[in-house]
A and B are shown apart, each in its own frame.
Chain A
């Protein structure tokens, strides 16, 4: 973090001003989050009387319990977690399998197949929506969580293949050649050499993918309509529709739905940043 020009002494007061400005900006940036917390812990009467910038008369923790129960968030959490725990490992395994030959083998079509996947980075979900609805009906999985998984995997592949191919290319070719001489099959090389050596990249991708899956809205909106199959963003929209003027309850629901993402982000931030920059900047 210290590539700044190093003529430190005359810059000290300027740095102080800069730091103060940054802290002020950070406070402004956190204002919406502060507003949500401040709203969610009071009674509706306290909110309408005192406003969000007053000290709450009493902390109403029960808002969260009430939002959790009336909003049926347990169902939405269960559904979203089910999709995440199936889709994320499956998608990353498929992406890793594809990335190995793209990174380490020469065969006809290598460059073109990679380019073909890359183009997917620029394909908006909208262009597949209506046909996916028809396809899921024909496959007999319309309106179930299983309808989400194939398109989620498909739309996740381009970024994951881009990142993993980059990482796999960094694995020394001599290592692979040595394993081949020892008679290892290509799958053994993939599973015993490529995968273990790319754990940081795989972990970063898994975290980014889990968050993206938790947050995804448009595909779920179109593919899921029954109440018991809703994911968290759909459930939150439903909750908003039913309690749009009960601000304290609504913001408690919003907070419930974002706490898992914030916790994961805060604790696993290091992986997160690695994954993002690796995906964007070539290996």
Chain B
């Protein structure tokens, strides 16, 4: 009732007979504040989203006037026709499961290590976080150079420690391209979980640890029964954002492998781009985009619910 009481509080200062009209204008105030945001959000996020939902039911090249309605044809094609799309979906799922465990796990371990009040913690935190602020295009090029078959740092190191037989074209090998790209992603994405877990750890009251110690809990037991449950909120956020980020992956694959060799590193994000903007299958691209959106929205429900609770 804030805005109503607002006008009630402000109105007596002015002439009383105007109270009613004043009251009506005041009711509009919140919407006036919201208008610019709503217009931009509806116009340039929601509207294009709906247009691409519409497009996804057509066979369309993205430019010509003729669009052929094919119902769920594009969606059926994703699951039963297009082998690359299925490969891309599998790649996305494996990649996302990796994101759920590896960068988040490393982030948690680093947060635990950096939370012990050691010297140099701030510098270390900065170094581990730094890759996360770089443009992913630059990260892709940097790691493309790291993986360079002849002059890249990785093969140079392998050769110098006598493991030269493992040296190879990391990004051009069918078996190694995807794991190599994933390692790059891990490098660039441990910062966020680390920072969030650090914030979470610092919000756990010391008394819990003292109580646990008095009860005779050892380090591991304290971790299991105090630290992990104490990080409840951090887990929701870190894991949700890891999945959302993992499913959206585009820049790194585009810059490092361009979906290759062959199509083994295609993910839905890149395959959608290739279909819509390289092969001019705009309708099919829109269906792929909506598949990504629906999966992410479903996965994000617990996160959104958590954030909207007061």
The reply to whether A97 and B195 contact each other, CB–CB distance below 8 Å, is no
B196 near A106: Cβ-Cβ < 8 Å:
no
The interface residues of chain B, by DSSP majority, are classed as helix
Tell me if A257 is interfacial: C-beta within 8 Å of chain B: yes
Selecting from B76-84, B118-126, B171-179, the interface stretch reads B118-126
Q: A172 at interface (Cβ–Cβ under 8 A)?
A: no
The distance in angstroms between the C-alpha atoms of A95 and B33, with both chains bound, is 10
> Interface size for chain A: under 10, 10 to 19, 20 to 34, or 35 or more residues?
35 or more
With A32-B187, A105-B3, A280-B196: A130-B52 Cβ-Cβ less than 8 Å:
yes
User: By the criterion CB–CB under 8 Å, are B138 and A236 in contact?
Assistant: yes
Q: Is B136 a contact of A217 with CB atoms below 8 Å?
A: yes
Residue of A nearest to B30 (CB): A101
Chain A residues packing against B (C-beta within 8 Å): 1-5, 7, 15, 18-19, 21-23, 26, 29-33, 35-36, 39, 47-48, 51-53, 94-95, 97-98, 100-102, 104-107, 110-111, 113-115, 117-135, 150-151, 153-155, 157, 161-162, 173, 177, 180-181, 183, 186, 190, 211, 214-215, 217-218, 221-222, 232-233, 236-237, 240, 247, 250-251, 254, 257-258, 261-262, 264-266, 269, 272-273, 276-277, 280-282
Chain B positions within 8 Å of A, measured between CB atoms, are 1-4, 6, 9-10, 13, 27, 29-31, 33-34, 36-38, 40-41, 43-45, 47-49, 51-52, 55, 62, 110, 113-122, 124, 126-131, 133-138, 141-143, 145-146, 148, 151, 153, 156, 160, 187, 192, 195-196, 199-202, 204, 206, 209, 213, 219, 222, 233-234, 237, 241, 244, 247-248, 250-251, 254-255, 269, 272-273, 276-277, 282, 285-286, 288-290, 292-293, 296-297, 299-300, 303-304, 307-308
Q: Using A30-B127, A94-B40, A124-B289 as known contacts, list a sample of 17 further A-B pairs with CB atoms less than 8 Å apart, ordered by residue number in A.
A: A1-B115, A2-B117, A22-B110, A35-B142, A97-B36, A101-B33, A111-B308, A113-B38, A119-B304, A128-B48, A131-B52, A155-B45, A162-B307, A183-B13, A215-B135, A217-B135, A276-B196
